[in-house]
């Protein structure tokens, strides 16, 4: 990583005093230093206060390959910030009397099934969008992440019944994208429009978000759009856009700072557009921001929060003095975003990036927010910059230790013979994983995800390391085999090597049984 002199950082940040709202020059400096600290090529930031845009600007570049400047109109996939739009759309149907939040999902999707029959029968539309299904964190995400063309919405819905829950129904918050895919299908079946058409014609266009699209595939003019970037084996690397249209209801919208500020103003204006049209009743807007699934508040919470949780497509909490904060983040391969509003302060903050490091958007959002809440300078850049360094060092140490053991085990007589593990392994919802030998190397292929290809390297007598060909994934994992009495593999499970692995690499939910 590239670092800059701390005295420059100190002089910039200490200018933020108690109750002193950050000005444009200070924010320019903060963002430029954030780019350097977290190795982010480009960031666009917007701030709206009391109905007026007080800051909207891009910094850095859209892509390492072109070096073209990023600006406030540069398009970025907002990822899971799309979930707020999905729930807003469902709320519109509630207003129209076509839907109730507590309707059973099977009323609209009769084929909907989960692992447990009782849960299936009692699962509501509200349950779809509150992350309390009982399924584990990111369960089933491999059906659309990384991008593949095998699983459409119907296949996702059909496969949910095979995924075993990790907790009891409605007991625990476990973030899940696939439930939002189902919610998008409910929207389609009730409204008669595709999720994408509904979002664009009923929300984006009326609100005035004229540059935004409901899906990357709908962006026809790509002259001002980011490329994605990530750290791959310690080096900042540009990677292809990766998002499957199957999951648009969970994270497909493409927008920019200018349009997202319009969205913030609209929401804080009680869902009334710039032309005076009300798109949602005050009752339903209020419902979206009510806590549905509680989350724990840390003992030393940075914003003196008393409660925190998930509403309908939004995280909600209180911040200093009891102000309600409504917010969400989003992440795709190579980009992360954050959207925050504090309605009682009439304050909105938007941060869009083209590198998948959340510490960058947290640094910017928290510094801006602090200046309006009256916090003394808390040096988020210094604090999170050091945490970021420590986080990468910690993960690198784990990976180094694992690959050192791989090298040490190369000549061990305990190594399984290739013939003991070669063959086809099936998971009920993900499909086949094939392990075969090519040029004296054991290779792994996912039949239904063409990008998941890897070398297998012996780690101990029962376990191999899966080293993915695409190093930008940063998701190497263990595959542990179970052997029969003759020493032949009969099943296998996987788990990530290091905690930096994105939760959407849902390897741990795969239960592989050898079929040949």
pLDDT in tens, 42-96: 999 999 999 999 999 999 999 999 999 999 999 999 999 999 999 999 999 999 9
The residues pairing with 516 across neighbouring beta strands, listed in sequence order, are none
Q: What is the C-alpha to C-alpha distance for residues 509 and 163, in angstroms, rounded to an integer?
A: 7
Residue 242: per-residue pLDDT: 83
Could you tell me the pTM of the whole model?
0.94
Confidence class for position 357, pLDDT limits 50, 70, 90:
very high
What confidence score (pLDDT) does residue 10 get?
32
Give pLDDT, residue 321: 80
Token pair listed for 481: 């085999």
- Label residue 13 by pLDDT band (50, 70, 90): very low
Distance, C-alpha 345 to centroid of its chain = 27
* Distance of alpha carbon 30 from alpha carbon 4, whole angstroms: 12
> How far does CA 174 lie from the centroid of its chain?
13
Tell me, what's the pLDDT at 20?
59
Q: Report d(CA 137, CA 163) in Å as an integer.
A: 12
Q: Could you give the percent of the chain with pLDDT greater than 90?
A: 92
Partners of 331 in beta bridges: 336
Mean pLDDT estimate for the chain: 94
Q: For position 203, what pLDDT does the model report?
A: 98
* Interval 493-505 mean pLDDT: 96
Domains of the chain: 6-377 (3.40.710.10), 397-514 (2.40.128.600)
How many angstroms separate the CA atoms of 146 and 138, rounded? 13
The gap from C-alpha 387 to its chain's centroid, in whole angstroms, comes to 20
CA 449 to centroid of chain Cα atoms: 19
- Total residue count of the chain as it appears in this document: 516
Q: What is the pLDDT of residues 100-115, one digit of tens each?
A: 999 999 999 999 999 9
Nearest to 449 by CA among 473, 421, 465, 474: 473
What is residue 9's predicted lDDT score, i.e. its pLDDT?
A: 32
Query: What is the reported pLDDT for 149?
Result: 74
Taken in order 79, 85, 87, 90, is the CA torsion positive or negative? negative
For 125-154, the pLDDT digits (tens) are: 999 999 999 999 999 999 999 987 789 999
Q: Please, are residues 463 and 477 in contact by the beta-carbon 8 Å criterion?
A: no
Answer whether residue 410 shows pLDDT above 80: yes
Kind and range of the H or E run holding 359: helix 358-373
User: What residues contact 399, with CB distance under 8 A and at least 6 apart?
Assistant: 476, 497, 498
3-state secondary structure 384-402: HHHHHHHHHHHHHHHHHHH
Dihedrals phi, psi of 200, to nearest 5 degrees: -75, -45
Could you list the beta-strand ranges (E) of 320-430: 323-332, 335-342, 347-353, 423-427
Instruction: Give residue for tokens 């994270």.
Output: 251
Q: Would you state the pLDDT for residue 15?
A: 36
User: Could you tell me if 225 and 132 are in contact, meaning their C-beta atoms sit under 8 angstroms apart?
Assistant: no
Tokens of 391: 């986080």
For every residue of 397-459, DSSP letters joined together read: HHHHHHHHHHHHTTT-TTPPPHHHH-EEEEETTTEEEEEEEETTEEEEEETT-TT-EEEEEE-
Quick: pLDDT tens for 222-241: 999 999 999 998 899 999 98
d(CA 50, CA 47): 10
Residue 437's beta-bridge partner residues? 442
């Amino acid at each position: 990583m590239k670092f800059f002199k701390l005295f420059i950082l100190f002089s910039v940040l200490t200018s933020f005093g108690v109750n002193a709202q950050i000005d444009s020059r200070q924010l320019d400096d903060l963002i430029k230093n954030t780019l350097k600290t977290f190795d982010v090529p480009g960031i666009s930031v917007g701030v709206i206060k009391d109905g007026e845009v007080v800051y909207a600007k891009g910094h850095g570049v859209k892509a390492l390959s072109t070096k073209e400047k990023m600006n406030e109109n540069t398009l970025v996939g907002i990822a899971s910030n799309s979930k707020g739009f999905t729930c807003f759309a469902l709320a519109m149907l509630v207003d129209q009397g076509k839907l109730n939040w507590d309707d059973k999902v099977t009323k609209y999707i009769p084929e909907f099934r989960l692992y447990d029959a009782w849960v299936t029968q009692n699962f509501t539309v509200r349950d779809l969008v509150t992350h309390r299904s009982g399924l584990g964190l990111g369960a089933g995400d491999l059906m659309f992440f990384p991008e593949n063309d095998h699983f459409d919405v119907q296949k996702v819905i059909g496969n949910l019944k095979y995924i075993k829950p990790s907790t009891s129904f409605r007991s625990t918050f476990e973030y899940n994208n696939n439930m939002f895919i189902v919610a998008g299908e409910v929207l389609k079946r009730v409204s008669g429009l595709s999720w994408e058409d509904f979002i664009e014609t009923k929300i984006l266009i009326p609100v005035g978000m004229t540059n935004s699209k409901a899906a990357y595939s709908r962006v026809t003019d790509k002259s001002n759009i980011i490329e994605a970037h990530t750290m791959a084996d310690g080096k900042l690397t540009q990677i292809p856009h990766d998002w499957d249209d199957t999951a648009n209801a969970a994270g497909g919208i493409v927008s920019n700072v200018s349009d997202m500020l319009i969205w913030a103003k609209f929401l804080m204006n009680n869902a009334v557009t710039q032309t005076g049209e009300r798109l949602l009743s005050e009752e339903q807007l209020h419902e979206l921001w009510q806590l549905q699934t509680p989350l724990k508040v840390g003992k030393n919470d940075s914003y003196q929060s008393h409660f925190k949780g998930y509403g309908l497509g939004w995280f909600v909490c209180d911040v200093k003095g009891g102000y309600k904060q409504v917010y969400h983040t989003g992440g795709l391969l190579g980009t992360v975003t954050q959207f925050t509003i504090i309605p009682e302060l009439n304050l909105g903050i938007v941060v869009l990036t083209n590198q998948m490091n959340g510490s960058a958007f947290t640094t910017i959002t928290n510094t801006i927010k602090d200046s309006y809440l009256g916090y003394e300078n808390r040096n988020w850049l210094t604090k999170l910059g050091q945490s970021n360094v420590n986080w990468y060092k910690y993960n690198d140490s784990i990976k180094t230790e694992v690959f050192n053991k791989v090298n040490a085990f190369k000549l061990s007589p305990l190594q399984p013979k290739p013939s003991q593990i070669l063959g086809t392994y099936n998971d009920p919802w993900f499909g086949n994983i094939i392990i075969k030998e090519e040029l004296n190397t054991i290779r792994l292929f996912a039949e239904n995800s063409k990008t998941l290809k890897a070398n297998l390297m012996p780690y101990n007598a029962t376990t191999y390391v899966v080293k993915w060909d695409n190093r930008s994934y940063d998701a190497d994992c263990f595959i542990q085999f179970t052997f029969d009495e003759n020493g032949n593999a009969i099943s296998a499970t996987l788990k990530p090597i290091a905690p930096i692995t994105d939760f959407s690499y849902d390897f741990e939910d795969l239960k592989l049984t050898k079929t040949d």
